[in-house]
Amino acid sequence: MEATCVTHIGICVRDMERSLAFYRDVLGMTVLGDRMTDPTEGGRLHNYLHRRQARRWVRLAYGDGATPTLTLTSHPGDEPDGQPIKLDEVGISHISFGVADVKGLMQELLDKGVDLAGPVESFTGPDGEIRSIYVHDPDGILVQFNTP
């Protein structure tokens, strides 16, 4: 088998509106789809820790046709389980986006009130360049921006 690309990355969020305010409004992603589904259809409950009554998913990207997309999932009426993992734990530890100007984006995010996931010095190389930064989304999931 040879896959052609990663199509999407899915993350479960506690509060969809709060997460949309971050990914859409702060990071500038575009909502490509927003719908409710029944998590019981197709016998998919084996993918859940607990039985869920409803599933809302919102698909975002940095433009039409861009891949991978980011799919935010919430379960209205149900509180999700778990905590975001750290970089040294098993599982998907973070999502990363390539940007042309990491330092410029860092300043833009700071101006918008987004805290870095560590001191600026921790992202600054010996040459004074900033090639990668991390922030936390509203649920504490690490989001990286780096020079591709």
Q: Which fold has domain 88-148?
A: 2,3-Dihydroxybiphenyl 1,2-Dioxygenase; domain 1 (3.10.180)
**74 CB-near residues (< 8 Å, 6+ apart):** 12, 13, 14, 15, 16, 19, 55, 56, 57, 80
> What predicted TM-score, i.e. pTM, was given to this entire model?
0.90
- Under a CB-based contact definition with an 8 Å cutoff, are residues 85 and 141 in contact? no
The CATH code belonging to domain 1-77 is 3.10.180.10
The ranges of the chain annotated as CATH 3.10.180.10 are: 1-77, 88-148
- Under a CB-based contact definition with an 8 Å cutoff, are residues 23 and 30 in contact? no
Q: Which two tokens stand for residue 91?
A: 């599982």
C-alpha–C-alpha distance, residues 148 and 98, integer Å: 5
At CA 111, angle to CA 122 and CA 125, rounded to 5? Answer: 20
Strands (E), 42-141: 55-61, 69-74, 94-98, 132-136
pLDDT tens digit sequence for 69-84: 999 999 999 888 889 9
pLDDT tens digit sequence for 42-62: 677 778 888 888 999 999 999
